[in-house]
């Protein structure tokens, strides 16, 4: 048997294995980025209700804090998929977010989050 006739036989298998491993890597990276984005939105809502809870603060203070937080930590395409709102519900400051992150390899991820804090009042 001639060794020269077997040259390059492993190339298709190597290309397929390398491609699949890269696809797996990108999938894991996409899931990690999704988790980071969810954590940023959760922290932004918590910061927002903390800003809106003190006596004299308004829901606009809550919304400004959320917008600042999301803008600093989640800019670009991911930040465009975040819709937030703040308001008062009796003695509570309530912040809501509807989020849609576009996937690179995995399907898009949609979810909603809510944070609340008790509004300070005079005794």
For CA atoms 88, 60, 64, 121, the dihedral sign is negative
What are the tens digits of pLDDT across the range 1-43? Answer: 566 666 666 788 888 999 999 999 999 999 999 999 999 999 9
What are the tens digits of pLDDT across the range 102-122? Answer: 998 889 999 999 999 999 998
Average pLDDT over residues 70-92: 93
Whether 53 and 120 have beta carbons less than 8 Å apart is answered as yes
Among 95, 92, 39, CA closest to 63 = 95
Is the pTM above the cut of 0.95?
Answer: no
């Amino acid at each position: 048997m001639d060794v020269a006739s077997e040259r390059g036989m492993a190339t298709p298998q190597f290309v397929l294995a390398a491609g699949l491993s890269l696809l797996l890597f990108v999938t894991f990276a996409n899931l990690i980025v999704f988790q980071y984005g969810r954590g940023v939105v959760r922290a932004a809502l918590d910061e927002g209700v903390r800003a809106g809870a003190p006596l004299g603060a308004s829901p606009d203070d809550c919304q400004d804090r959320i917008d600042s937080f999301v803008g600093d930590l989640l800019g670009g395409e991911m930040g465009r998929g975040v819709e937030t709102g703040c308001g008062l519900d009796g003695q509570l400051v309530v912040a809501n977010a509807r989020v849609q992150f576009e996937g690179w390899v995995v399907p898009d991820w949609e979810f909603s989050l809510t944070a609340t804090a008790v509004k300070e009042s005079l005794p």
